[in-house]
Structure 1
């Protein structure tokens, strides 16, 4: 057992590196401590440094500068933009750091394989941030499936309800709007869900197909008379996607407004909406990622799954139905409820909401606690492992789904897909 706190460096102090993990680490000061940061934005760098008392000599503008220094921590949090993960992740492991690696671990298959090779060569631990596995909700759901309460597992219907304003913020105006600059939304948003389905089913996918497109958020759907920016728009008050509605809630300084300015003030927000990307009309952005997609998956054990990713929902939520030979389970992630309906028997309802949740239904905090458990106390639970190798399958599912979507829903044989892309891992 390690008596001293785990030392952490953060590479990318944005909404995940600082707002999520940085704030959660504050809850465990005797067990984990941030001692270094690499962040090009000086305001963010100063904010996290002040919050965690990071010495000046451990504050860097770039990850290259931080990793050029002799190793001075145990764990590196890689929370930069998706396309930037591979090189710093590999170098950090070669320097001796374990990793908390944000998902997706890479935006192409070659990048994923490079990270796995480095993980196994350096013998360093990677905790891919598949935080849904760590939630009370999905752990209980998996337990119920494996208990046999509903008999043999037949199929699953899973829906990611992104929420209309969340999609407008992140995938129309925001950082994940363009597949060339980042990656397809089935990877950037829904690799979480690919992983959960793979984990719940307990088998590798045999084949899949996917349909989807950018249905709504495009110039052809801009209302007549609308302006290209919400502040100038005469019909802004009638638009549910109005940036004014989303970002100017009185006295509110949390997500998503805290992601568009470094300091939330009325003046800063107004200026951001006036000239920045988040003030644009949702029909006049440079977005190309799909806003509605369905993916059907057949696993090697015969279980069939349908997954829907939709921008067009009022709430941000995940809902799931699990079908068994002797019953079904209906789950609502936001409500934190799992209802077991055994055929011809009474219903059982489980309240699995983590009331002290921080993010992702408590998954963010549970991941931090698990890392502490592994690195400080050498206590592991292989049932929820999110190593790079374990996390590869869900990435491959997302890449294959996108290939299918781009080819009119062509059925992708996963064995052939892996061979064609040089994936020979068991």
Structure 2
């Protein structure tokens, strides 16, 4: 995403972020960055003092700032790429995780006939890199000069310059007609933090949707919490989680996508669950022997009713996405628990039960409860060789504690 200026932290360095970044790409700057790969941020002052004996203070400040960003980026890009790439603070924060970008690029590549993609609001180039690695030529566009320069440097650093053309321009001025597909990643953060109104995105969702509908195929990256009523009937809406955490939602348009459908996709497995017609509201009933917690992508995609139907189950509360059943059910889309106790919410009673069962390791989960798991663990004062899971929730509207253990159904 590249709609917001994102200067590198320059400390007492120069006011011009482009000059600061250019200095990092000189042989001296590159060598300095290589030497900072494993530096300890807690010792940054001592490191800066040492390096300034041999290097200009401006360059040292820029290098230390970039080294911090690279360390943060490892979680998204992996060490091999992160320590070769360049970043801005917003770029690290807003870039797509490599696993998700690779999955999305794979969907484009699998369609056949997608040879050129216009990546609008490309940010530091994370999505362009994934598309290029899938064999797709990319026009990567961002209106911020520094962000565009960083994207260009990343394409060069990863040996992808032949497939990625970076252009510094306003995306609304780009003619996308020569391209087989369009990808738009509007900025969803502003000066006051996260933006929740899709029309306050930059560019607005309405503009991005119009651009998508003009293209043979398109994908729009949006916030996972987008209201379903903001999604037009022309889109296939997909929510993607990685390692159990919902990372993004994507609206797909054009040939090869199922307009009007909702989809939940789980990485790294690639398991995907989809429906065109929403199921009726699921039944609500008493807690059974088993409790199933749907993945967040399933919940966001309004596919909990599908899970209820598959396990012959019911909800424990009409407002809570916990599914219960009297039979074991194996699914990649849920975490399963075998329930041993159902208690009204009472911390003293919970503490006594855990002490009686010699529970020393407690996992606390919550859904529909204002109590924080950390507070529960602190108050329990656990000791013993056994483990347990407590789920703080509501059952038929009443605050409830469900106690059990993780369960792996066969299948």
TM-score normalised by length of structure 2: 0.33
Structure with greater Cα Rg: 2
Higher share of residues assigned helix: 1
TM-score normalised by length of structure 1: 0.32
Higher share of residues assigned strand: 2
